[in-house]
Copies of this chain bind each other. A is one copy, B any other.
Amino acid sequence: MPTTTAPEIYDPYRVCPSRQLLDRIGDRWTVLIIGVLEDGPQRFSQISRRIDGISQKMLTQTLRSLEADGLVTRTVFPEVPPHVEYELSELGRTLLEPLAILRAWAVDHMDEVAAARTAAAA
């Protein structure tokens, strides 16, 4: 086992809590939704508009999971018509830096990876 890595991460899927959590936060939609909520509270329709390609169903599911995990809070405003806002919790905000580092890596290295893919396909 690498000394730099918690061994339990490598346990069978669904057995270890940190492994389950890694699966969750590694999900592409989670990464994108948390990035959108970095700007502050937003409505479902606002999040939906900013993440092209996400279905309403997938956005609903992912927001529910994030809420159950304590990463996102959901607030209902009793206005007419009522509206709902989603916001990062304090715990959710601790994920911002790790995910920003991952996104930055993707942006910085996409050209190298694209070149490798082209070479592999040739």
- Decide if A9 touches B26 in the complex (CB within 8 Å): no
Contact surface of A with B, Cβ cutoff 8 Å: 1-2, 4-6, 8-14, 17-23, 25-28, 31-32, 35-36, 38-39, 50-53, 67-71, 91, 94-95, 97-107, 109-117, 119-121
* 8 cross-chain pairs, A with B, having the tightest CB-CB distances, nearest first: A70-B116, A13-B53, A68-B120, A12-B53, A12-B52, A17-B110, A21-B106, A22-B106
Give the complex CA separation of A10 and B71 in angstroms. Answer: 20
Residue of B nearest to A64 (CB): B120
Give the complex CA separation of A103 and B76 in angstroms. Answer: 33
Q: How often does this chain occur in the complex, in copies?
A: 2
- Decide if B31 touches A28 in the complex (CB within 8 Å): no
B contact residues around A110 at 8 Å (CB):
17-18, 20-21
Give the complex CA separation of A97 and B1 in angstroms. Answer: 17
Residue of B nearest to A1 (CB): B50
- Known: A68-B121, A99-B102; 16 extra A-B contacts, CB below 8 A, are A2-B39, A5-B38, A6-B104, A11-B52, A13-B28, A13-B52, A17-B113, A18-B106, A25-B106, A26-B102, A68-B117, A69-B113, A69-B120, A70-B117, A71-B113, A94-B109
